[in-house]
Amino acid sequence: MNGTIRTVFAQDQDAAAAVRAAQAALSGEPADLIIAFVGGKHGPEAVHAALRAAFPGVTLTGGAAAGVISSHGFGYGGFEIGLIAFHGPDVTPAMVATHDLLAGEFAAGENLGRSVHDRTADGQAVFLLFDSVASVAPLRLHPASQIMAGFQSGLGARELHVVGGGLLTDINLSGGWLLDGADVCKHAAAALIFPPGIAAETVIFHGCRPASSFLEITKIDGAEVLELNGEPALTVVERMLGLTLGTTSGQQLSLVATLGQKQGDPFAPFDENAYVNRLILQANPERGSLTLFEPDFEAGARVQIMSRDNILMLESVTRGVADLRRLMGSKTTLLGLYIDCAGRASVMSGAETEEAELVVDSLAPEFPFMGFYSGVEIAPFAGGTSRPLDWTGVLTVLQTAS
């Protein structure tokens, strides 16, 4: 195979110094494309200027990250920089982008999907990145479910292996931005299309257990769940979890529970992989409502309150890595990618062990590895179609196709 992939990690309060350290670690053959994951305390323009100076003529993509996860270092303090450098035509992805998320996420995703369709054949791997934060005041996210619904529509019958995530400056959802190859962008998404000679295998790590029986969503407005079983949604969740939020914003609730929709047979034995869980973005005591990260649940849907379980989260990582090793077989592995929900960081989850470090320790230093903390994770789900997920870790390995 004509090409190599390298990963480096650097950390410094000064963006230019962090980039110089990363450049030194990558000394040698110039890269054709670099994906950069940048901690949120680095100003995007300063980082972009430093990257452009350090790597002239190289296509730059990536963007804000709530934290960086690598075999060379790890952190979510905001001063991290992680780079993936691609050298050679057989491994370097092609990039297409859209800048129209603010005008409409479905339409922007559909246009991006059409562009990807025209540049791919069935089976190719695609890495999708997008700016997660539409506005800060009031807080509104770019719904990944709408982006992906449009993207799948644009792909038509094309069957691809799509993974990705939403870009955030920090765990508090303070902002997001993307590098589109030429500039720093808001309200943008980019698809990185890997060459046909590269195959992908993906596993999904979960970590939630049902904390209720099935509940029917009886009233919903977009992402705002107003009623469960005919009662105010917040009242139902507080009662079942034994919490009283009063006039808080609901952050306490978001740290302990999600709403989950079981796929397939609702009466089948518990399987964490059968659930699509939605994080609670905020609670509104006056309306008695819960606002989810995604607006893809509908009236009449049957959901369960899901308790976030740190022990199960770590067990899921151990099982998932073992599953991935079986899927990898004897092919040459070129890169490991990890898209990890920011809520799984120990500072948010309260876990005594950083599950991202458990992932790294289970794989490194066998092959180049890079990950980032995201707002939403995208991965192939039931039936092979990729969809957005919450409070998951998505681990993908890129390998030679044969």
Return the biggest CA–CA distance within the chain. Answer: 64
**Which value, to the nearest 10 degrees, does the dihedral of the CA atoms of residues 208, 353, 170, 111 take?**
-50
> Can you give the pLDDT at residue 87?
96
Does the structure show a pLDDT above 80 at 134?
A: yes
Beta pairing class for 386-389 and 289-292: unpaired
Task: Name the average pLDDT for the chain.
Answer: 93
Q: According to DSSP H, which parts of 118-175 are helical?
A: 144-155
pLDDT tens-place string over residues 304-332: 999 988 999 999 999 999 999 999 988 99
Does the structure show a pLDDT above 50 at 46?
A: yes
> pTM of the entire structure?
0.95
> Can you give the pLDDT at residue 247?
45
Of the candidates 205, 207, 213, 206, the one whose C-alpha atom is nearest the C-alpha of residue 267 is 213
Does the structure show a pLDDT above 90 at 107?
A: yes
State whether the Cα torsion 221-393-312-262 is positive or negative: positive
Of the candidates 392, 396, 395, 394, the one whose C-alpha atom is nearest the C-alpha of residue 208 is 392
pLDDT tens-place string over residues 223-272: 999 999 999 999 999 898 887 765 445 556 666 789 999 998 998 999 88
> Can you give the pLDDT at residue 254?
67
Q: How confident is the model at residue 347 (pLDDT cuts 50, 70, 90)?
A: confident
Of the candidates 168, 183, 177, the one whose C-alpha atom is nearest the C-alpha of residue 52 is 183
What string of DSSP letters covers 272-323? GGGEEEEEEEEEETTTTEEEES-S---TT-EEEEEEE-HHHHHHHHHHHHHH
pLDDT tens-place string over residues 143-188: 999 999 999 999 999 999 999 999 999 988 999 999 999 999 999 9
Return left, alpha or beta for 298; rule: phi > 0 is left, psi -120 to 50 is alpha, else beta. beta
Domain boundaries of the chain, sorted by first residue: 4-205+314-400, 208-307
- Write phi, then psi, for 254 (nearest 5 degrees): -65, -25
Quick check: 169 and 64 in contact, CB under 8 A? yes
Q: In a 3-state reduction of DSSP, which class is residue 348?
A: helix
Give 208-307's CATH code, choosing from 1.10.3470, 3.40.1350, 2.40.30, 1.10.1740. Answer: 2.40.30
Q: CB 236: neighbour CB atoms within 10 A? A: 20
> Can you give the pLDDT at residue 248?
47
Q: What's the average model confidence in pLDDT over 133-146?
A: 95
